[in-house]
Amino acid sequence: MTGRFTSSSEVRREALPWGTLAWFSSPADTGARSLVVLEVDLKPEAGHAFHKHPNQEEVIYVIEGEVEQWVDQEKRMLVPGDSAFIGPDVVHASFNAGKGDAKLLAILSPAIGEEGYELVDVEGIEPWASIR
The hierarchical CATH code for the domain 14-121 is 2.60.120.10
Q: Is the pLDDT assigned to residue 18 strictly greater than 80? A: yes
| pLDDT mean across residues, the chain | 95
Domain residue ranges in the chain: 14-121
87 falls in which pLDDT band (50, 70, 90)?
A: very high
Mean pLDDT in residue range 77-95 = 98
pLDDT confidence of residue 2: 76
Q: What is the pLDDT of residue 1?
A: 59
DSSP letters along the chain, please? -------GGGSEEEEETTEEEEEEE-HHHH--SS-EEEEEEE-TT-EEEEEE-TT-EEEEEEEES-EEEEETTEEEEE-TT-EEEE-TT--EEEEE-SSS-EEEEEEEES-BTTTB---EE-TTSTTTTT--
Q: Which pTM does this prediction carry?
A: 0.93
